[in-house]
Structure 1
Amino acid sequence: MDELQHECGVAALYYLPGHAERSSVWHGDPEQLSRQMPRMLLDLQNRGQLAAGMTTYNPQREQLLDTYKDVGTVIEAFRLNHPHKYASIMEEYAGRAAIGHTRYATCGATDRRYAQPFERRHGCKWKWFAFAFNGQLTNFAELRRQLLANHDYHLTRNNDTEVILHYLAHELRGDSRPDLVEVFARLAEKFDGAYNIVFLNALGEMVVLRDPLGIRPMCYAIDGPVFGAASESVALQNLGFRNIRSLQPGELILIREGRLSLHRYVRKSRPAHCFFEWVYFANVASTLDERSVYLVRARLGEELARQEKALGRVPLDPADTIVVPVPDTGKAAADAMAFALGLRSVEGLIRNRYVGRTFIEGDNRADKVRLKFTPLREVLAGKRVLLVEDSIVRSTTLKSLLHHLRQQGEAKEVHVRVACPPIIAPCFYGIDMSTVGELFAPRFLSGKTPTLAEQDAMAQELGADSLFYLPVDALARCIDLPADQLCRACVTAQYPTSAGQQLYQLALLRRDQQPVNGRTYEQPEPLTSLPSVSAPPQ
């Protein structure tokens, strides 16, 4: 609701040689399989809209690896609205293997230099590689400092992707072809945070990797000779893949000399899946770690209904009480909540899906709300509205929306119900909320769990008649995973990695200081208690 953004989405495709079976995913020339990559990236567009790109491998081409990328949405970057330009791109970059990326920046600028994949060219084929990643290195600042302090390195971008590129290049040094499983095992000893990586080199070797804690999702499938992987299952399902599986935390898929193999590159440990993927980020049609996003959100709505009945503070008369979702991520929860309460779930807010990014730039939040949402007066006028929101992060958009519902929609009452606990702490694993000061809930709370009085104070600040959050313990029940296998740092302030916990202490320190521009992990002061890492020599 507050335009919360994700780090990125990644995808991979490979046409494996020597398979007699036919594929329902791709019937054409194997060297043209990369044409499916923009289609996959469209299904990952929810994970990033700032840039998109792909790297392809074609052994029949002089440029064995070649990368195309540009700023904008997938439609803009790949010129999908210009058939001749799109066809030219697809022909020039055709290949039997491809990795792709959609970007939102939680680290670094928004220009084309930061678009992924990143490619490093080299005369030696195994040292010529490209990669893209989803997530965020929590110890990025420390890794970067070590590079700049200990060796004659020059970094041209202020982001963790370039840091990963340098460490990868170091691991691929030498005169003999390295074992890629061992390469990424050594990198895992240095990296802290969330990092799902797709990697492709000029030998045609591919790696698809999920970080040791499985913070971000990664799915894969095989259909005859075609292998595919993506941040979300919907990108594979819509291509025709079946039997889609989740890559386990700490596992990687290696394709080498045309053969696919699955490897564990780090010792198995307790996972920390980001609960927010199910609550907000992932496409509602996706299944992550064998849990349907839609069904999880429906269960969140059922939990809200149970809470509503227990509280009994709002009359639930079907004649004048309706449930209204905030489009689009609140709809599954709202429908389930309404059904459980015997109320109607109605689309009292219509989202304008055709407002381009250019028209909603700037800081006027009220103007953005009016452009993006139209309240239906015929549905809302004189009604008591239970407004179902997936989460409240910064609150500025929600506050404008509530005013809009009353003024234009003429709603009699608006009661906000949030299918998520209060966001009380930043995220350092790939979600764009990295400071305490930008968050709405912490300034109202005396502890981690809001009291009724504190929620009443929040409602007054927002301009709502009442406000209730989902309790923290409901998350594990709805996702159907043990609480200790979820990353719930943003609602508990308990982080799954040491660097994350220390960044939180730094964020708390800065909350009461003068406003600091930028994100917590981009600030110049070092975290002296962070474990030191060795930078690779040139």
Structure 2
Amino acid sequence: MSELFHECGVAAIYHLPGQPASPLCTPQGPEEVSRLMPRMLLDLQNRGQLSAGFTTYNPHRNQLIDTYRKLGPVTQVFRLNHRGKAENLMREYAGRAAIGHVRYATCGGEDCSFAQPFERHHLQKLKWFSFAFNGQLANYAQLRDKLLAEDDHHLARATDTEILMHEISRELSGDRRIPLIDMMRNLATRLDGAYTLALLNAQGEMLVARDPLGNKPMCYAIEGPLFAAASESVALVNLGFKSDSIKPLEAGHAITITDEGIKIEQYCESSERAHCFFEWIYFSNVASTLDDRSVYLARKALGEELARLEDLPMDDDTIVVPVPDTSKAAADSMAYQLGIPSIEGLIRNRYSGRTFIEGGRDRVAKAAIKYTPLPEVLAGKRVILVEDSIVRSTTMRVLLSKIRDVGQAREIHVRVACPPIIAPCFYGIDMSTISELFAPSFRKPNQSSDEMFAAMAAEIGADSVRYLPVESIARAVAKPADHLCRACITGEYPTPCGQQLYEIALENIENHGDDSVRTYEVAKSH
């Protein structure tokens, strides 16, 4: 699934004032706990390489909160390969609290003005804030049109992050001094979509919130005076937090840090859950645990699901080959169940970048240099090629051609540890149109799955293709099916605006044969 774009990663850290330094703190002490933020963002780098940044709070400097953000991966942005420049940066932005962000553009452009966190200056400290946001607002168009219709408003960027910034500002406007948890309660009533966010203001107050459906992941840990939160648990584990202190932030809940200390409160009641299943299948670091389910164990279970469905004859010339790197757990598990070897017949070029996450437009060229087949492993073999998903099929087509031509494989049977992606995502994954997806055009009335898979195999140059059925996902993730967002594999969306956008996309395909413009960017308010 290497051609798939992703969303973002969010992190936060705070050393409570007036308390002894945490053992996990930096040698420079609690007032420079912000130095830990680049390390946290490195562990979230899989979630975005287009830009990175952080905002820090320091009550002893004129810029009470100060934001640094640039295009590029974390190592480049924070100059981590240059000790002197990195040290100067860390010293300049030193603070007792920080929020951070890594980004890929699911909405908005690829220049530095879209990088996060977004900071809004104001004379009043309560209204001077910065925030980092992961997700996507399905009602972006409605919120945008409403803002532009009021007074003489203007939006500088085509991104839901700017919309969110103005909506937060609206809640903080006037003479009232609204607590952050109440701001979040009011804000949630106007948002349709998926989001996690971390906010830091010039009073030194912090808020970390998760959407009412729990679509986007967020976890946190508190040990003594040190608080940290991140999109994935691996960022907290690698800071040194004990595993039993790392907890998922429940859907519709927010953590606030104020003069009164740390509070965890529900800001929005919702009995429904819609965790994004793709987090376990592909996006998240395999070392992470999301909502009490190990990513590794979920992928291992996907391989077991594939093995149960396999009907190819097994012999000494049959091997399982994972598409590096996220398919390895599923491939190894599948091979173990089948009693055949799982071999790395494809070597990934570690320095070519990740084509799904970069901003480049030529995915084919990037895919061609991304993997090197090993003929010593593949020649004359029946290869069961395990991939986590096929979204646009760009990488898969190039890969199959190279495995045949360079690897000299006798047969290639593609096994996908996911059901076919048939519908767009309007919650933060950049597959927002039907026309860009591989699977929908192969769905025909009164056609069996075997017939559809045969047509797909012929199209991409495989000897056979097989996907997992929809029901396999809930078993592998070990969550009830109705607690997962499976919109991209079922066409059933967990929010009203998400479903509405899908209907618009279907209508565009039916009436115009094309929905190539991102649906959520052109949809009009109703």
Query: 1:478 matched to which residue of 2?
Result: 476
Please tell me whether the aligned partners of residues 423 and 439 of structure 1 are also in contact (alpha carbons under 8 angstroms): yes
Query: 1:71 matched to which residue of 2?
Result: 71
Q: Indicate yes or no: 2:337 matched with 1:340.
A: yes
CA distance in 2, matches of 1:277, 1:356: 20
Offset at residue 234 of structure 1 (A): 0.4
CA 1:95–1:365: 2 relative to 1, 3 Å:
closer
Query: 2:122 matched to which residue of 1?
Result: 122
CA distance in 1, matches of 2:430, 2:364: 21
Offset at residue 225 of structure 1 (A): 1.2
CA distance in 1, matches of 2:147, 2:415: 47
Offset at residue 258 of structure 1 (A): 5.8
Offset at residue 149 of structure 1 (A): 1.2
CA distance in 2, matches of 1:337, 1:294: 14
Please tell me whether the aligned partners of residues 5 and 47 of structure 1 are also in contact (alpha carbons under 8 angstroms): no
Query: 2:520 matched to which residue of 1?
Result: 521
Offset at residue 80 of structure 1 (A): 1.5
Within the candidate set 406, 420, 428, 1:430 is matched to 428
Offset at residue 26 of structure 1 (A): 3.9
- In the TM superposition, what whole-angstrom CA distance separates every residue of 1:295-327 from its partner, at most 9, and x where no partner exists? 00000000100010xxx2x2111x100000000
Please tell me whether the aligned partners of residues 214 and 248 of structure 1 are also in contact (alpha carbons under 8 angstroms): yes
Work out the number of aligned pairs and report it: 521
Letter in structure 1 aligned against 2:84: H
CA 1:455–1:45: 2 relative to 1, 3 Å:
same
CA distance in 2, matches of 1:418, 1:8: 25
CA distance in 2, matches of 1:407, 1:474: 34
Letter in structure 2 aligned against 1:90: M
Q: SS in structure 1 opposite 2:81? A: coil
Offset at residue 361 of structure 1 (A): 7.9
CA distance in 2, matches of 1:234, 1:45: 11
Query: 2:80 matched to which residue of 1?
Result: 80
- In the TM superposition, what whole-angstrom CA distance separates every residue of 1:460-516 from its partner, at most 9, and x where no partner exists? 101000000001001111111100000000000000000000000011112241545
Within the candidate set 244, 247, 256, 2:258 is matched to 256
Q: SS in structure 2 opposite 1:429? A: coil
User: 85-94 or 449-458, which moves further after superposition?
Assistant: 449-458
Q: Indicate yes or no: 2:23 matched with 1:23.
A: yes
Offset at residue 63 of structure 1 (A): 0.6
Q: SS in structure 2 opposite 1:190? A: coil
CA 1:454–1:517: 2 relative to 1, 3 Å:
closer
What pairs up with 1:443-482 in 2 under 5 angstroms? 443-446=441-444, 451-482=449-480
Q: Indicate yes or no: 2:320 matched with 1:323.
A: yes
CA 1:95–1:22: 2 relative to 1, 3 Å:
closer
Offset at residue 379 of structure 1 (A): 0.3
Offset at residue 364 of structure 1 (A): 5.3
What pairs up with 1:289-368 in 2 under 5 angstroms? 289-308=291-310, 312=311, 314-317=312-315, 319-355=316-352, 365-368=363-366
Q: Indicate yes or no: 2:193 matched with 1:225.
A: no
Within the candidate set 229, 243, 246, 1:244 is matched to 246
CA 1:448–1:261: 2 relative to 1, 3 Å:
farther
Letter in structure 1 aligned against 2:254: L
CA distance in 1, matches of 2:494, 2:342: 37
CA 1:362–1:212: 2 relative to 1, 3 Å:
closer
**Unaligned ranges ≥5, structure 2:** none
Offset at residue 47 of structure 1 (A): 0.6
Offset at residue 174 of structure 1 (A): 2.1
CA 1:218–1:339: 2 relative to 1, 3 Å:
same
Within the candidate set 499, 502, 510, 2:500 is matched to 502
Q: Indicate yes or no: 2:277 matched with 1:280.
A: no
- In the TM superposition, what whole-angstrom CA distance separates every residue of 1:222-272 from its partner, at most 9, and x where no partner exists? 122110000000011111112210000000000001610111001132110
Please tell me whether the aligned partners of residues 424 and 448 of structure 1 are also in contact (alpha carbons under 8 angstroms): no
User: 509-518 or 394-403, which moves further after superposition?
Assistant: 509-518
Query: 1:533 matched to which residue of 2?
Result: none
Letter in structure 2 aligned against 1:64: L
Query: 1:266 matched to which residue of 2?
Result: 268
CA distance in 2, matches of 1:198, 1:354: 31
CA distance in 2, matches of 1:448, 1:303: 26
Query: 1:398 matched to which residue of 2?
Result: 396
CA distance in 2, matches of 1:449, 1:479: 29
Please tell me whether the aligned partners of residues 218 and 231 of structure 1 are also in contact (alpha carbons under 8 angstroms): yes
Question: Could you list the runs of 4 or more consecutive aligned residues of structure 1 that deviate by over 6 angstroms after TM superposition?
Answer: none
Please tell me whether the aligned partners of residues 433 and 516 of structure 2 are also in contact (alpha carbons under 8 angstroms): no
CA 1:166–1:364: 2 relative to 1, 3 Å:
closer
CA 1:449–1:348: 2 relative to 1, 3 Å:
farther
User: 360-369 or 5-14, which moves further after superposition?
Assistant: 360-369
- In the TM superposition, what whole-angstrom CA distance separates every residue of 1:172-218 from its partner, at most 9, and x where no partner exists? 11223212111111110000001101000000000000000000100
Q: Indicate yes or no: 2:138 matched with 1:141.
A: no
Offset at residue 445 of structure 1 (A): 1.0
Offset at residue 356 of structure 1 (A): 5.0
CA distance in 1, matches of 2:159, 2:447: 35
Q: TM-score normalized by structure 1?
A: 0.94
Letter in structure 2 aligned against 1:489: A
CA distance in 2, matches of 1:91, 1:262: 31
CA distance in 2, matches of 1:418, 1:72: 31
Query: 1:178 matched to which residue of 2?
Result: 178
Q: SS in structure 2 opposite 1:80? A: coil
Q: Indicate yes or no: 2:387 matched with 1:389.
A: yes
Please tell me whether the aligned partners of residues 3 and 394 of structure 2 are also in contact (alpha carbons under 8 angstroms): no
Matched residues, percent identical? Answer: 60
Q: RMSD across aligned C-alpha pairs, in angstroms? A: 1.7
CA 1:85–1:448: 2 relative to 1, 3 Å:
farther
Q: TM-score normalized by structure 2?
A: 0.96
Please tell me whether the aligned partners of residues 145 and 525 of structure 2 are also in contact (alpha carbons under 8 angstroms): no
